[in-house]
Structure 1
Amino acid sequence: MAVSYPRIGALAVVLDGDSVLLVRRAAHKPDAGLWGFPGGHVEPGETVHAAAARELLEETCLCATPVETLTHLDLIRHDAEGTLLFHYLLVAVRCATPVGTLAACDDAAEAAWHPVDHVLRGALPLSRDVDTVLRRALER
């Protein structure tokens, strides 16, 4: 079945000193095994900022206040015949330093703080554009 509209997703970008919070996607999720920002679909009637905070809590058990929208990304995939499989408009939201005890929850196989330079050097298998979004967050 062809996709007729883009879905909106929110990413929670959390920095703490020289570290960034990332989650590794569970086996049954898109980008399985790759590290990326906590995130997911924006629910009907929910703001992008509220969705980023909710997804952060659901995937890491941490609470944080959304601070600002950093950027947006189009994630579009087609099958071998060129049929559109999905189109997500991902909105990256910088969040304040979180509170709580970090744990991998919901659809995260793992949640961890990683040194920013480690991530930017490509030392982890990353979801697409994690490095681009991280650089944007560091510019702020």
Structure 2
Amino acid sequence: MHRQKQGFTIIEVLVAIAVFTLVMLFIIPVFSYSRRATTTMTRLDSYHDVRRVDQEIASEIKFGSAILYPPKPSGSNAGEWHSQIVYRNSLNQTQVIFVNEKNQLVLLNYDSLLGPYLSGARTLGSSIKEFLTRRHGNS
């Protein structure tokens, strides 16, 4: 008489564990690489946004006629950080660059404010946590 086979032998269990381990050894690095690639791409996107906004601000100020705020450093306030830039553009209009309540870096033509608050503001960047600037001695 033959007994019917029930369950698995120890060899079958060990082979199954070995196969599972080998599969996991190949799958886990793929997910890890994917996560690192996503993080790197997010950082690169942020870096490019910062460069674009920086170039836009530099261009705006370069063609402007005067920087009104932050003030020129002197004595005790030399090198202080400020959260906005106020300047006059080439048309002698007062322009303000700051972060609004929606965490957007905006450029506002202060002289043309009509109607709702900030209706004419141009968004330079979004998801901005903080904007700080300072003025150097000769600028």
- TM-score, normalisation: structure 2: 0.24
Larger Rg: 2
The structure with more strand, counted as a fraction of residues: 1
Identify which of structures 1 and 2 has the higher relative contact order when contacts are C-alpha pairs closer than 8 Å and 6+ apart: 1
The structure with more helix, counted as a fraction of residues: 2
